[in-house]
Amino acid sequence: MGYLYALLASLLFGLNGSTTKLIVESGITPAQLTLARVCAITVLAGVILLITNRQAFRISGRQLLVMAVLGIAGVALIQWFYALAISLLPVGIALMFEYSGILLVAVIARFLFKERVKPRIWGAIAAVLVGMAIVAQVWASPLNGLGVLFGILAAVCLAVYFLVGERQVTSTSPLAVSFWSMLFASAFWLIFSSWWTIEPGTLTEQIPLGGSLDAFAAPLWGLLLWNGVFGSFAPYLLSFMALARLTATAAGIVSASEVIFAFAFAFFWLGESLDTVQIIGAILVLIGIVVAQTARSNKVVDLDLASQHLATRRS
């Protein structure tokens, strides 16, 4: 069931990339879209916690500070950079750049947190860097340079999310971590997203679904609702359910399938495709991501999960 949950989460995240691209192209800015996503997760997670675990609303001042860092750097900015990247790059390529952040997780864990990381990590780094260079075709520079930069910044934020979030689940539940981090992300974008400039009439506009679905249209509010519930909250919840049954390494390996789903949906829906050489590069990136996940020691993760289980039993 853990693998099934992780696979379903990746499927929804992969599909959401194409939905996000449509919303951004309709005139909603990446910051405004990010606000809608994090607010949806905050509200839904808060309601569930209110019903099932009210203790989650009581955390220390130090935890609040950490959650603020996680929410702003690991949630608010990552979704913004990702939305900016896919506004300038094909969906699959933007997501591929973001997922290279898994390499940063392993490198930072090795040199900053002194975790045991297997030597294969260096082969993984080489595979990802070479693969991304091939996909981006750096010798011809066909990709938008600013889009590539946003993808790399999303990767840095992804590393922050994993490294900080992984350690927070030892003191509270994954759903509580999601609520508090998304709450701070929502507060951040309430200030900086200029949401008040959105014309109410824009939300009722019919947006063509484009590509193979160009004959169909949906109201913008419907796309935003899908993006918030099924493209954000549902896959996050499924990934938490997967982590309750799998090690972080196993769940991370399965989550790499999101890149494949994103390419597939973008191809069949939006008509975005790669040439043969770029496909080889994408395969190299996926191999590097999987190898990087297996390079981290499970010792820290196992202790974290054990502590979480013990805390649950005590409560």
Choose between 245 and 214: higher pLDDT: 214
**How would residue 310 be classed by pLDDT, with cut points 50, 70 and 90?**
very low
Residue 192 CA to its chain's centroid (Å): 21
- Per-residue pLDDT tens over the stretch 45-59: 999 999 998 988 988
pLDDT above 70 covers a percentage of the chain that reads: 86
Question: What ranges do the domains of the chain cover?
Answer: 2-115+144-273
User: Which residue bears the tokens 């954000």?
Assistant: 232
Q: What predicted TM-score, i.e. pTM, was given to this entire model?
A: 0.74
Q: Quick one: pLDDT at residue 174?
A: 75
Beta bridge partners of 219: 206
**How would residue 119 be classed by pLDDT, with cut points 50, 70 and 90?**
confident
153 to each of 32, 147, 248, 295, how far by Cα in Å?
19, 10, 23, 23
- Per-residue pLDDT tens over the stretch 244-287: 676 655 666 677 677 778 878 888 888 877 788 888 888 887 88
Q: Quick one: pLDDT at residue 138?
A: 62
pLDDT above 90 covers a percentage of the chain that reads: 21
